[in-house]
Amino acid sequence: MTEKLVPPHRPLILVVDDQRANRELLEAQLDELGYEVRQAVDGIEALEAVAEREPDLVLLDIDMPRLDGISVCRRLKAHPVRRLIPVVLLTASSDREVRLHGLEAGADDFLNKPFDARELLIRTKVLLKDRTLNARLDATEGVLFALARAVEARDRYTIHHAERVGRYAEAIGAAHGLDDEDTTLLYEGGVLHDLGKIAIPDAVLLKPGPLTEDEFAVMRTHSVEGERICLSLRSVTYFLPIIRHHHERMDGGGYPDHLAGKDIPLGARIAAIADAWDAMVSDRPYRAGLPREEALRRMRANAGKQWDPHLVQLFLALLDRGLMEKVAGSQLAASA
């Protein structure tokens, strides 16, 4: 047999149906097609099975006791990672309403009962192929996060800075009323915001003292460099404004584009506050971090000049309620 770059993998399919006869029938057909099959008898069992071992595809009945298929689908599709698992709803009728409900819940496809073996074969094949592509897309993001960590590894003084910026940005976004999808984006964008520092030479990035004007000019290229690194990756399109614009100022005095006010994308206005706060209170080789009171004073004094005043208000309220301690605590847990 020829060697392969990607090792063979037997896809796992979760079959969820309260009717035993249906489960057995599907299992027999899928087994014949070479898939590994697990069964669940209702929605609750289905979610448990997914948590225990992530399947590559879920075939999901709709009417079931305890938790119905539409609810299961909705929950899976609301999960940051599990939403990538394709879900096929098993529908007894060609009822339009049911299908619309299913689509609304995020279902990827439908399969009619009684099952047609050929249809089952084609639909599973197509969806499993999507699944593989999604997994690769995911891997691309993983590479970027690894790069972001590499930036921090070069400079021990900024260790965990990106992670904290992500956490702060996520919290500001939630306080601003953004939904889960957007706050997740803020977290990830926060982690990636300084990715472009990978392109900054050691002599500048690691200089144990204040930078000269020329060195500053080099340092300032990191936001554009970061964008350039990510530009060709479609999966990170939404982070680009955060990466490029996190050093813009409300008064137009920032870089790289001297954007002002609401022309600065919301994600970047949020990340700018998160980034500046963490930079102020953290130690650097040539200076200790500012005391909290002094950092708060500067934040208030520059609201409206450097940062979006409304977002600063939200952030100060979050700090009041212990955000900084919470973020530090979550990091201890993560690195333990």
| Choice between 56 and 275, CB closer to Fe ion | 275
**Displacement of CA 303 from its chain's centroid (Å):** 29
β strands within 41-154, DSSP E: 57-61, 87-91, 109-112
| Choice between 275 and 308, CB closer to Fe ion | 275
CB of 284 to Fe ion, least distance (A): 12
From residue 225, how far is each of 197, 232, 258, 282, 317 by CA, in Å? 8, 13, 17, 24, 34
Complete DSSP assignment for 113-142? SSPPHHHHHHHHHHHHHHHHHHHHHHHHHH
Residue whose C-alpha is closest to residue 17's, from 69, 55, 70, 56:
69
Interacting residue with Fe ion among 55, 275, 307, 323 (CB under 5 A): 275
| Choice between 273 and 314, CB closer to Fe ion | 273
Number of residues that bind Fe ion (CB under 5 A): 2
| Choice between 162 and 312, CB closer to Fe ion | 162
CB of 165 to Fe ion, least distance (A): 6
The answer to whether 248 contacts Fe ion (rule: CB under 5 A) is no
Interacting residue with Fe ion among 42, 194, 227, 248 (CB under 5 A): 194
CB of 248 to Fe ion, least distance (A): 11
| Choice between 163 and 194, CB closer to Fe ion | 194
Task: List 59's β-bridge partners, or say none.
Answer: 15, 88
Q: How far apart are CA 194 and CA 200, in angstroms?
A: 11
Q: How far apart are CA 130 and CA 136, in angstroms?
A: 10
- End-to-end alpha carbon distance in the chain: 44
Residue whose C-alpha is closest to residue 39's, from 56, 54, 58:
58
Give the residue carrying structure tokens 């609304």: 104
Which stretch, 41-49, 70-78, 268-276, 310-318, contacts Fe ion (CB under 5 A)?
A: 268-276
Which stretch, 97-105, 136-144, 177-185, 273-281, contacts Fe ion (CB under 5 A)?
A: 273-281
| Choice between 108 and 152, CB closer to Fe ion | 152
Which stretch, 57-65, 144-152, 194-202, 204-212, contacts Fe ion (CB under 5 A)?
A: 194-202
- DSSP-derived secondary structure letter, 8: P
| Choice between 11 and 166, CB closer to Fe ion | 166
Binding residues for Fe ion (CB under 5 A):
194, 275
